[in-house]
Amino acid sequence: MRVRMNISYNGRDFSGFQYQHDYRTVQGTIEKQLKRMHKMPTRIHGASRTDAGVHALDQYIHFDTTIDLPGDKWAFIFNRAMPDDIYIKDVDIVDDDFHSRYHAKGKTYRYKIYTGAKNPFYKGLVTHVPDQLDISKIKEAAKDFVGVHDFTTFSSAKAEIKNKVREIKQVDIIKTEAGLDIVITGTGFLYNMVRIIVAYLLEVGRGLRKADTLNMIAQKDRTIIPKTAPAEGLYLEKVWYENL
């Protein structure tokens, strides 16, 4: 049978989601517990392969098992075994054709920024931008991301995928007590796309660039936005499925 887990994790002490030999990863940590239970390797699949330092408030994984347990038992057993920085929110037994990645219709990412004096307790959790930010300018630049675009300008040169057309459904710029959250929902994202969009929006907010999003997109040239915002402020906030 197939098991789907809804999990959250603090990415600060993980070398990302994806398994890497000799590194502490989310996949590796969960698969280690599955191996303990199955006495054999069990592979998991995640909706998003978050990078090193990136957090998840709402990630989904699935795996196949011969162990017949109800969802809440899986959650109980896992939460006792998991380290402090992974939490199993919910577990369901799902149809055998469910796939956490292929069935995801979209994802929402939140990028957390704080401004002003440094706060040591935000280390690894919120990105520090000492400068004052012009929020109206950031909003002006952000709205033009919405729509179907070729996002070559806003994807890592390392992205090997050919088709760089994606749809962004919504971008919200939210003033918080500490600074600013940038919340982006799309049908899919290219490698580093959110962090490059954020790097661009922060340069606009700091007055280092004008709001010129459609022109940037049209140029399809990654070199015109060389920066990538740090991983620490990025949260996978929601994965959208048809029936969830």
Which residue ranges are tagged as binding site for substrate? Answer: 109
Least distance from C-beta 122 to a copy of itself, angstroms?
8
Question: Residue 84 or residue 97: which is nearer to a copy of itself going by CB?
Answer: 84
Active site annotation includes 51: yes
Question: Residue 9 or residue 189: which is nearer to a copy of itself going by CB?
Answer: 9
Question: Residue 19 or residue 87: which is nearer to a copy of itself going by CB?
Answer: 87
Minimal CA–CA distance to 109: which of 24, 47, 179, 41? 47
Least distance from C-beta 124 to a copy of itself, angstroms?
8
Least distance from C-beta 86 to a copy of itself, angstroms?
6
- Binding-site annotation, residues: 109
Catalytic residue among 13, 22, 51, 144: 51
Least distance from C-beta 152 to a copy of itself, angstroms?
32
Question: Residue 38 or residue 89: which is nearer to a copy of itself going by CB?
Answer: 89
Cα–Cα distance between 70 and 129 in angstroms, integer? 46
Enumerate binding residues for a copy of itself (CB under 8 A): 8-10, 12-13, 55, 79, 84-87, 117-121, 123-125, 128
Catalytic residues: 51
